[in-house]
Amino acid sequence: MSEHVAEHVPDGPGARTRNGILRGALKDGVASFLGIPYAQAPVGELRFRAPQPAEAWDGIREATAFGPTAPKRPYAPPLAALLPDPEVAGDDCLNLNVWAPWPATGPRGEGPGDGGTGEGGRPVMVWIHGGSLVHGSSALPVYDGTAFARDGVVLVSINYRLGIEGFGVFPDAPTNIGLRDQIAALTWVRENIAAFGGDPDRVTVFGESAGAISVAALLASPLAKGLFRRAVLQSGSPTARSIAKARRTTEAIAARLKVPATAEAFARVDPERLLAAQTAVTDKGSPLISGNPFFIAVDGDVVPEDPGDALADGASADVELLMGTNTDEYRLWFVPGGQADRVGPLIQRLLLRKGQIASSTAKVYRERRPQEKPGEVLGAIVTDRLLRVPLNMLADFRLHSGKSATYLYEFGWPSPVLDLRACHALELGFVFDTLDLPETRALTGPDAPQDLATAMHAAWVAFATTGDPGWRPWDAARPVMTFGPGSPTLVEAPREEERLAWGG
């Protein structure tokens, strides 16, 4: 039997990878294989080093439980109640999960499957989770891949190193280690996904928030070229910093630990003490509020130049792209802790000046939002500056390249929970079609519209399958598919006056 055909094993579905045979679990025609190592455990001499290929094993490896998560701390209150962040103990955190329709088929429709997937197998989607590069994992129930597999997609979700171990900048260690992990996982997919019925030439990489920022960096990275055919950016835009600026967070943590800002010194620090220092330094910020966050670094290697500049210059112009934002992104960060209520007109103006936002730009937002509080207007401005405007600019650049289609969406269904409305991360349960899970309902509440989830999930499946999510690609009229409130509707140039206020 070919190494790329599903393996028969006792008591469960089996798959033969290049490292050995796996036994997963089967339910309602969907096989799941969890906790598969794609690289060696990053401990000992491999800590603060680039990922090394996973070692082979003898016999059958059980793959029925999520693997260890990368070292991290949970979100601080009040976000902890809204964003569950499970932790799985262990060192072998460079692992991934696969959900696949079962029986699988081989690359030529051979094997125990029904042969209905064509010459190359089924479309594959690889999920990169968000979490500000310090939180999150593939073990979050919201990211369960069952619905994608049910609808004919082989879904892969990955873990990668976070925080100082994934994105610290040291003079004696590789840069962007977390991105290197993601590339190693995509390489594993390229080499092994046919064993699960997937087509290695039809891979879509998608991510949200820091995961989308990672996807943008992968689009600009020569080391990731050829590892995927399509990409989805959810609520994240091309963002990176110079080595010097990206290093500041590392230096701040080193100062708190009273150790040199070197990988050698950090490797001698107890992991729990390191996490405590990292949390103390980074927890005062958020994706929309200044602090000491981690950044992807422009290192001349994994990321040779700023991803936004690279993509504007035509990098990955041959990759089909779906991207978008949520209408009220800022509310996840500004509302639960009361920041939106505490910002008055004076503080708003001071923060806008600090952020170098032109007064003429702010004036447009104030005039178009007369019933909103100063903190809400500030949040809308920050959302557009960090997310909506850069993605619109990227779509415009790609339109001129004329090589592959670009599609834009906006998620607008308002959650009743804490008046969060269409906040950051709310779309995840709709994309994964996991509205029935308590972890999803923490953000959506109990009555989120299933028909909207069905439509949004189907669009992602269609994009991965054909490159077309079901609406008109980006053109001069600026079409955006809006998912809620109400039924999905194609809108041309939504809130154009506000976008034009940025000089676009």
pLDDT digits (tens, 9 = 90+) for 70-125: 999 999 999 999 999 999 999 999 999 999 999 986 443 333 333 334 467 999 99
Whether the Cβ atoms of residue 217 and residue 307 lie closer than 8 Å to each other:
yes
Structure confidence at residue 289 (pLDDT)? 57
Question: Would you place residue 8 in the very low, low, confident or very high pLDDT band (cuts 50, 70, 90)?
Answer: low
> Angle at the Cα of 136 (from 219 to 29), degrees rounded to 5?
85
pTM, 2 dp: 0.96
Structure confidence at residue 104 (pLDDT)? 86
Question: Would you place residue 389 in the very low, low, confident or very high pLDDT band (cuts 50, 70, 90)?
Answer: very high
C-alpha span between 42 and 49 (Å, rounded): 7
E-only strand ranges, 176-247: 198-208, 230-234, 241-242
Closest CA to 415 of 426, 430, 431, 429: 426
Q: What is the mean pLDDT of residues 460-464?
A: 98
C-alpha span between 73 and 272 (Å, rounded): 10
Span 404-434, pLDDT tens digits:
999 999 999 999 999 999 999 999 999 999 9
CATH numeric code, 7-336+393-477: 3.40.50.1820
On average, the pLDDT of the chain sits at 94
Domain residue limits, the chain: 7-336+393-477
Q: What is the mean pLDDT of residues 499-503?
A: 96
Structure confidence at residue 119 (pLDDT)? 61
Whether the Cβ atoms of residue 199 and residue 120 lie closer than 8 Å to each other:
yes
Structure confidence at residue 118 (pLDDT)? 44
Structure confidence at residue 106 (pLDDT)? 46
pLDDT value at 368 more than 60: yes
Using DSSP, state whether 198 is helix, strand or coil.
Answer: strand
Question: Would you place residue 11 in the very low, low, confident or very high pLDDT band (cuts 50, 70, 90)?
Answer: confident
Q: What is the mean pLDDT of residues 227-237?
A: 98
pLDDT value at 1 more than 80: no
Q: What is the mean pLDDT of residues 456-480?
A: 98
Structure confidence at residue 283 (pLDDT)? 81
% pLDDT > 90, the chain = 91
% pLDDT > 70, the chain = 94
Active site residues: 209, 329, 424
Structure confidence at residue 218 (pLDDT)? 98
Span 21-58, pLDDT tens digits:
999 999 999 999 999 999 999 999 999 999 999 999 99
Span 262-312, pLDDT tens digits:
999 999 999 999 999 999 999 865 555 556 899 999 999 999 999 999 999
Structure confidence at residue 178 (pLDDT)? 98
Span 240-262, pLDDT tens digits:
999 999 999 999 999 999 999 99
Structure confidence at residue 112 (pLDDT)? 32
pLDDT value at 238 more than 80: yes
pLDDT value at 482 more than 60: yes
Whether the Cβ atoms of residue 406 and residue 473 lie closer than 8 Å to each other:
yes
Cα atoms found within 13 Å of the Cα of residue 83, Cβ hemisphere only: 24
H-type helices in 221-306, by residue range? 243-257, 263-267, 271-282
Cα dist from 318 to 127, 185, 259, 311, 407, whole Å: 20, 22, 46, 11, 14
Structure confidence at residue 120 (pLDDT)? 79
Structure confidence at residue 52 (pLDDT)? 98
